[in-house]
Chain A
């Protein structure tokens, strides 16, 4: 599997913790695997909980690219990229 960056790993841990994913270890989430629908199989309830956790940890508000794909951040990699781009803290350790 592709290597997760440190930031991606941290985000994967947040996902697993926030959503109580009992079957998944953070290190197992492939950076380019779909988070919603197929792949990890998260749904819109998860998206809301995750959006909250992300706003609290990274001080970043998620925005949908397109209403039809509400959970617009299709992968760990793209979600992390969005957070990093929009985070005031940049690469400051949390």
Chain B
């Protein structure tokens, strides 16, 4: 049994490119041409940062029967690790760029039909930071993606019936951006802007360049920055936010600033989007049908027919009834920085693997976003530690500052209590000599 790569008509607009609107038919034609040029490997590593190129690349890979790998970041060592695990793979959108769609060639090509994809075809493998220093992989079939997207269409756009024009500040290669700006336009009346703007003025301009009705897809950190910039934004039908918590006060301010409803979205890479709420008015999440939740000793199980397996969410959820829950906090190993999820245990493992590092700890100081680190490595400087971490870790998780000490105040058992860690950190910050700080802990 199969589903089409897009359930929309060929004549429908799916994107806005430099030269104007792009229809589903054009996208399928370009993807079909690209598919013919792809290597004969099982896996595609799509590294395109341009949204439209990413979409085209994904469609080409699906057409060719290749599964798209989605690494947790695009650092060189992460990609090397991925290729070691999946040798039968190729990169799309790397600096070699042999795959950049030469659309001039395609103008003369006959319009391609939207291909049908077998429902069980492996479509993507999403990788997320595990706590052991190795990423966990979730393989999803085309059926999983299609059903998830149909669910999202209903829960996110249900009350919007016209074609909406969408601008996102989030990248297409993480699950939030992937669901909203790659999958959703394939199945729902959404036309995406090719832009991924960053500065407030650029975001406002890219939005103004879109026809109405417009929606903005972003994250709390970015939205806060847009609001505080004071830049004027054009009328918006809706703002969608995900990847980090949003307070009700903040949501209220955002709704006033953008003069529209802000829809908060909850999900994880493994399950995709599972719930929504209008945070300015609601303190409870509403589960998207057909997901169900079950509390267990180790966390909350997320279930749905279309998921390859049940997903264990380690965040603390309070289940109110079968359709609503409250989010009480994250599992203490997981950190969220600028909407990116990471594991402290994973980062610590990587730190300790660095040659020359005898001991060390990466942690999130009280009240701060950014991670810090305290390291025992007599022959290394902080810059060298950063240089070693950079190729394998998302930039958001690179610790700053990094203090070098003679030893960490560990107990005999080897454990390091958070209070002694924070006390050491405070003394280092206030300028105490690191050698003394190490010695003081012996007393």
Total interface residues on B, CB under 8 Å, equals 29
Question: Using a CB–CB distance below 8 Å, which chain A residues touch chain B?
Answer: 21-23, 41, 43-45, 47-49, 51-52, 55, 61-64, 67-68, 70-71
Inter-subunit contact A63/B221 (CB<8 Å): no
Inter-subunit contact A45/B201 (CB<8 Å): no
Inter-subunit contact B401/A67 (CB<8 Å): no
Contact of A55 among B195, B229, B395, B398 (CB under 8 A): B229
Do A45 and B196 form a contact, CB below 8 Å, given A22-B401, A63-B202? no
A-B contact pairs, 18 of them (CB 8 A): A22-B429, A23-B401, A43-B398, A44-B395, A44-B396, A45-B369, A45-B370, A45-B396, A48-B222, A48-B225, A49-B225, A52-B228, A61-B199, A62-B199, A63-B202, A67-B197, A68-B49, A71-B198
Inter-subunit contact B198/A70 (CB<8 Å): yes
Query: Lowest 6 CB-CB distances: which A-B pairs, in order?
Result: A70-B198, A61-B201, A43-B395, A48-B225, A62-B199, A22-B401
State the CA gap A51–B229 with chains docked (Å): 8
Nearest-CB distance from A74 to chain B (Å)?
Answer: 15
Inter-subunit contact A44/B338 (CB<8 Å): yes
Nearest-CB distance from B388 to chain A (Å)?
Answer: 13
A-B contact number at CB 8 A:
62
State the CA gap A44–B395 with chains docked (Å): 8
Do A41 and B386 form a contact, CB below 8 Å, given A51-B199, A61-B199, A67-B198? yes
CB-defined contacts of B50 to chain A, threshold 8 Å: 67
Q: What 1/0 flags go to B38-56 for Cβ under 8 Å of A? A: 0000000000011000000
State the CA gap A64–B201 with chains docked (Å): 9
CB-defined contacts of A21 to chain B, threshold 8 Å: 400
Do A45 and B337 form a contact, CB below 8 Å, given A22-B401, A51-B225, A52-B225? yes
Inter-subunit contact B199/A63 (CB<8 Å): yes
Question: Using a CB–CB distance below 8 Å, which chain B residues touch chain A?
Answer: 49-50, 195-202, 221-222, 225, 228-231, 337-338, 369-370, 382, 386, 395-396, 398, 400-401, 429
Inter-subunit contact A55/B202 (CB<8 Å): no
CB-defined contacts of A61 to chain B, threshold 8 Å: 199-201, 229, 231
Do A67 and B199 form a contact, CB below 8 Å, given A41-B398, A48-B225, A52-B229? no
Closest A residue to B51 using CB positions: A67
State the CA gap A70–B197 with chains docked (Å): 8
Closest A residue to B338 using CB positions: A45
Inter-subunit contact B197/A64 (CB<8 Å): yes
CB-defined contacts of A68 to chain B, threshold 8 Å: 49
CB-defined contacts of A70 to chain B, threshold 8 Å: 198-199
Nearest-CB distance from B88 to chain A (Å)?
Answer: 29
Closest A residue to B196 using CB positions: A67
State the CA gap A71–B395 with chains docked (Å): 13
Contact of A45 among B49, B197, B221, B401 (CB under 8 A): B221
State the CA gap A48–B224 with chains docked (Å): 10
Nearest-CB distance from B243 to chain A (Å)?
Answer: 13
Inter-subunit contact A64/B49 (CB<8 Å): no
Nearest-CB distance from B231 to chain A (Å)?
Answer: 6
Q: Which of A44, A45, A49, A71 has the most CB of B within 10 A?
A: A45
State the CA gap A70–B203 with chains docked (Å): 12
Nearest-CB distance from A25 to chain B (Å)?
Answer: 13
CB-defined contacts of B396 to chain A, threshold 8 Å: 43-45
Nearest-CB distance from B222 to chain A (Å)?
Answer: 7
Q: Which of B50, B198, B400 has the most CB of A within 10 A?
A: B198
State the CA gap A70–B201 with chains docked (Å): 13
Nearest-CB distance from A49 to chain B (Å)?
Answer: 8
State the CA gap A50–B400 with chains docked (Å): 16
State the CA gap A41–B386 with chains docked (Å): 9
Contact of B200 among A41, A43, A44, A51 (CB under 8 A): A51
CB-defined contacts of B197 to chain A, threshold 8 Å: 64, 67
State the CA gap A15–B371 with chains docked (Å): 19
Closest A residue to B397 using CB positions: A43
Contact of A64 among B202, B221, B228, B370 (CB under 8 A): B202
- Apart from the given pairs A48-B222, A63-B202, 19 other A-B contacts in the complex at a CB distance below 8 Å: A23-B382, A41-B386, A44-B198, A47-B198, A51-B229, A55-B229, A61-B199, A61-B200, A61-B201, A61-B229, A61-B231, A64-B198, A64-B199, A67-B50, A67-B195, A67-B197, A67-B198, A68-B49, A70-B199
State the CA gap A41–B402 with chains docked (Å): 13
Nearest-CB distance from B372 to chain A (Å)?
Answer: 9
State the CA gap A61–B204 with chains docked (Å): 11
CB-defined contacts of A48 to chain B, threshold 8 Å: 198, 221-222, 225
State the CA gap A34–B195 with chains docked (Å): 25
State the CA gap A55–B202 with chains docked (Å): 14
